[in-house]
Every structure is written in C-alpha cells, then in structure tokens.
C-alpha cells in the first residue's frame, strides 16, 4: 500500500474518532438539562402534594370552626326553649333547633370527608417523597456517569490531537492538503470502495479504475464527491497477528 494512503486512512480514523467524541461531549449539556428538568418536576410534584394536604387541613379546620359555632348556637336554643311562653314561640324555636341539628350533621359529614381525603393526600405526599428520593439518587448517578464520560472523551480528543500532530508530519504536504480540503468540504475525506462503489456518495467507480485501485498504490479521488478512495483489507483475518506471536 502507498505509504501516504496508509497514513491518510489512519488520519481519517483518528479524525473520525475525535469528531464522534466531540459530538458526544456536545450532547452532554442537553443531557444535564434534561436531568435538571426531571429533578424539578419531581420536586414540583412533591410541593403540589404538600400544598394539597395543607389546603385540606385548613379546609377541615374551617369546617370545625363552623361546627363549634353552630353547636354553641344549638345549646343556646335549647336553653331558650325552656323559657318560651307560647306554643307559637315553642314551634318556631323547635324549627331553629332542627335546622341547626341538620347543619351539625352536614358539617360532621364534611369533616369526615376531609379526614378520608387527608389519608388519601398523605399517601400521595409519601409517594411523591419516595419518588423524589429515588429520582435524586438516579439523577446523581447519571450525572456522575456523564461527568466521567466527559472526562474520558476529553482525554480521547486530546490523545487524538497529539496522534494527529505526529502523523501529519509524516504525510506528503500535497497529499495532506488534498485531505484537509476534502475534509473541510465533506466532513469525511477517506472512504472505502465496496462492490465497486464509493461508500460515501454511492457513485460507481469505472471497473478499469477500480482494478487499478485494488492494490491501494495510488491516491485517487472519487470523480463525484472527490473523497479519497481505498480498498478495505480482505476480511478480519488479514489484520490479526498470528496466535502467540512474540509471547
Ligand atoms: Zn464519492
């Protein structure tokens, strides 16, 4: 294989790996934002559950206050009942008492409803607390994972940069310049030929040219996309060292 072509293939591998690492790093802020949003929503759910419980307690206290007032009115009515002089007054007072007793029953029912609702809301608050605690732990773990991955990817990008700096000094300036120009325009500059086609733009390479390229002895750019083409090594076995060699 042509020495420059071999180095360009390696350079492309380095650049592609670095680019993938950079893209992954660039995704991290949005991953962190979605974790923040998840935490905020679990916190809001707990705040909401607490507010509902507090509201229910306040509503129950208000009904209890009304009940106390009506009960004291009722006992006053009963005292007054002893003092009425006429049948007409007596009947009127009886009606007042009856109405007050109905109101007492209604308020007692309301209090019972609020007590049942309390149990329901206390359960919901407990569930929201548990969920928030679980989310906090999961989110902290994911955050750590993202931070570790960022650090690892940044190391990879730095290693790629130094490997690249070494490698480019070994490539002929003209060839390197072709590579950089194509990479700038196309993102990827070196691609394989497979089944006679450029694997990037899918244009067919003329059979005569493809035949010439088979030994990877020349730097050849695709007629259509200008990417530098090469034939991949035949099968994975060719890349492997013989078993036990040098050990
Ligand atoms: Zn092409």
pLDDT tens for each residue of 163-179: 999 999 999 999 999 99
Helices then strands, each counted (H, E), the chain:
4, 4
pLDDT reported for residue 235: 55
Cα 14 to averaged position of ligand 1 atoms, centre (Å) = 21
Cα 235 to averaged position of ligand 1 atoms, centre (Å) = 23
Question: How much is the mean pLDDT over the chain?
Answer: 93
What protein residues have CB closer than 5 angstroms to ion ligand 1? Answer: 198, 200-201, 222, 224-225
Looking at the chain, the whole-number percentage of residues with pLDDT higher than 90 is 91
Cα 12 to averaged position of ligand 1 atoms, centre (Å) = 15
pLDDT reported for residue 11: 98
> What is the spatial distance between Cα 136 and Cα 35, in angstroms, rounded to a whole number?
10
31 in Cβ contact with 212 (< 8 Å) = no
- For the chain, domains (ranges, CATH) are 3-168 (1.10.287.1490), 173-235 (no CATH)
pLDDT reported for residue 227: 98
Cα 198 to averaged position of ligand 1 atoms, centre (Å) = 5
Looking at the chain, the whole-number percentage of residues with pLDDT higher than 70 is 94
Cα 222 to averaged position of ligand 1 atoms, centre (Å) = 5
pLDDT reported for residue 143: 97
> What is the spatial distance between Cα 75 and Cα 93, in angstroms, rounded to a whole number?
12
pLDDT reported for residue 233: 79
> What is the spatial distance between Cα 140 and Cα 58, in angstroms, rounded to a whole number?
36
pLDDT reported for residue 246: 38
pLDDT reported for residue 237: 44
Q: What is the pLDDT of residues 205-238, one digit of tens each?
A: 999 999 999 999 999 999 999 999 999 977 554 4
Cα 170 to averaged position of ligand 1 atoms, centre (Å) = 26
Cα 18 to averaged position of ligand 1 atoms, centre (Å) = 23
Residue 181 phi/psi, 5-degree rounding, is: -65, -45
Cα 216 to averaged position of ligand 1 atoms, centre (Å) = 16
Does the pLDDT value for residue 244 go beyond 70?
no
Among candidate residues 197, 189, 201, 199, the one with its CA nearest the CA of residue 227: 189
Neighbours of 80 (CB within 10 A): 13
Q: What is the pLDDT of residues 13-71, one digit of tens each?
A: 999 999 999 999 999 999 999 999 999 999 999 999 999 999 999 999 999 999 999 99
Neighbours of 14 (CB within 10 A): 19
Neighbours of 220 (CB within 10 A): 19
Cα 166 to averaged position of ligand 1 atoms, centre (Å) = 28
Cα 189 to averaged position of ligand 1 atoms, centre (Å) = 10
pLDDT reported for residue 238: 40
Does the pLDDT value for residue 132 go beyond 80?
yes
Among candidate residues 193, 183, 197, the one with its CA nearest the CA of residue 215: 193
Residue 243 phi/psi, 5-degree rounding, is: -60, 135
227 in Cβ contact with 191 (< 8 Å) = yes
Cα 178 to averaged position of ligand 1 atoms, centre (Å) = 15
């Amino acid at each position: 294989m042509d020495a420059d072509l071999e180095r360009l293939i390696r350079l492309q591998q380095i650049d592609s790996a670095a680019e993938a690492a950079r893209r992954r790093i660039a995704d991290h802020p949005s991953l962190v934002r979605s974790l923040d949003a998840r935490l905020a929503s679990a916190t809001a759910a707990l705040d909401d559950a607490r507010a509902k419980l507090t509201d229910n307690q306040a509503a129950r206290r208000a009904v209890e206050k009304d009940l106390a007032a009506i009960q004291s009115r009722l006992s006053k009515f009963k005292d007054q009942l002893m003092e009425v002089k006429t049948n007409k007054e007596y009947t009127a007072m009886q009606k007042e008492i009856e109405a007050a007793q109905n109101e007492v029953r209604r308020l007692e029912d309301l209090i019972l409803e609020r007590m049942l609702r309390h149990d329901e809301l206390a359960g919901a608050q407990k569930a929201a607390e548990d969920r928030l605690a679980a989310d906090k732990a999961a989110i902290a773990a994911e955050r750590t994972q993202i931070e570790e991955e960022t650090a690892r990817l940044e190391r990879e990008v730095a290693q790629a940069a130094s490997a690249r700096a070494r490698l480019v000094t070994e490539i002929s300036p003209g060839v390197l310049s072709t590579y950089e120009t194509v990479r700038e325009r196309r993102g990827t500059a070196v691609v394989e030929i497979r089944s006679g086609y450029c694997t990037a733009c899918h244009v067919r390479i003329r059979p005569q040219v493809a035949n010439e390229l088979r030994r990877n002895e020349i730097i050849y750019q695709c007629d259509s996309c200008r990417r530098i083409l090469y034939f991949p090594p035949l099968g994975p076995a060719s890349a492997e060292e013989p078993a036990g060699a040098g050990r």
